[in-house]
Amino acid sequence: MKSNIAKLIEIVKRLPEKAVNELLELAEIKKQESDKEEEKAVPKCPHCDAGEVVKNGKGHGKQTYLCRCCGKSFTKTTQTIMENSHSGEAVWKDVIRDTIEGVPIDTTAENLDLHHETVFNMRHKILCCLEQEQAQNPIQIIGVCEADETYLLESFKGKKFTEDADRKPRKHGAVASKSGISDEYICICTATQRGGAAIAVPVCKSQPTSEDISAVFAGRVTPDTLIVCDGAKAYDTLEKNGNCSIIHIAEGTEGFKNINTVNGYHSFIKERNRNARGFATKYLGRYSALFSLAYNITDFIINDIYKMLCDMNNRYNTIANSQSEGLFAA
């Protein structure tokens, strides 16, 4: 799906020069009106949340504010995803849309006339924020839910192998050297609320233990939650600890007692993994946070995510942070 900016560029290319000039003049007038409206609204201080804020000149074309309580200066983009960004709202929303829809980075870069590395950094800043948000406010699954694990092949995509590495590098599309579920696979614990929320959390190599299951689900279920799962006994720890109720089913069971919904979620995750030619394992935690939001997507999620990233709740991650902090290690 083409971004709005790519579509707009194609439309403008077909317009006569006079019409383009008129559009530019109109855009400049709208921008000035928008800037005036923004200047009237004085935000709270993102550092101490105080309301005693005054204007303090401009820097790099942005209105600067000074907090009289803590003495710190800031702009409306401080501690948001837009901090130190050269791209505007429309570009960020297009990158969010392509991230949600699983569009390759090169395609996004071409449509927006940006460099591959720029889009890569923007995408991972978004993913970092989504992962941090879910860590602070875990998605709750209530009512009847289905739980199961899915497995993705461990990947060191983007990293050069050293001579003393544990294994030789694989080509795209290669399979594991061992049969069955082995330590070459990363286990992702998943659950879907029927007709509702979904979660995905990478936990370990090979099969999960009772401790892994508790770590994933204890903060995401309630005593009123009923989890339908396969024969894995590791889930029994949730019922023993009073976190929720458990029903084990036999493979191929039809009717109420089945896990077809969560299996469909697994297909969604694996399709995204194939389209990306494998996600680097170190980034799997943040991509799993994306899967939780992208599954059962709504038309409003792009604007919701953009607003969340710009709410001055310390959403800003530097490029160095996005490439080094919060990485998954099995």
How many Cβ atoms from other residues are within 10 Å of residue 40's Cβ?
6
Cα-only R_g, the chain? 23
Q: Alpha-carbon distance 7 to 5, whole Å? A: 5
Give 51-102 pLDDT, tens digit per residue: 888 888 887 777 888 998 888 888 888 888 888 888 888 899 999 999 998 9
**What pLDDT band is residue 252 in, cutting at 50, 70 and 90?**
very low
- Residue 1 predicted with pLDDT over 50: no
Phi, psi (degrees; rounded to nearest 5) at 265: -65, -40
Burial of 323 (0-12, 13-18, 19+ CB in 10 A): middle
pLDDT above 90: percentage of residues in the chain: 33
Mean local confidence (pLDDT), 169-192 = 85
267 phi and psi angles, rounded to 5 deg: -60, -40
Using CA atoms, how far residue 76 sits from 127, 290, 327, in Å, is 22, 26, 29
DSSP 235: G
Domain residue ranges in the chain: 1-38, 42-76, 140-172+180-299
**CATH no., domain 140-172+180-299:** 3.30.420.10
Q: How far is the first Cα of the chain from the last one, in angstroms, to the nearest whole number?
A: 34
Q: How far apart are CA 235 and CA 150, in angstroms?
A: 15
Please say if the pLDDT value at position 323 is more than 90.
no
pLDDT tens sequence across 100-140: 989 999 999 999 989 999 999 999 999 998 998 888 888 88
pLDDT the model gives residue 199 = 92
**What pLDDT is attached to residue 17?**
76
- For residue 141, give the nearest of 195, 210, 208 by alpha carbon: 195
Write down the mean pLDDT value for the chain: 84
Of 155-159, 174-178, 207-211, give the lowest mean pLDDT range: 174-178
Of residues 22 and 211, the one with the higher pLDDT is 211
What's the whole-number mean pLDDT along residues 29-45? 68
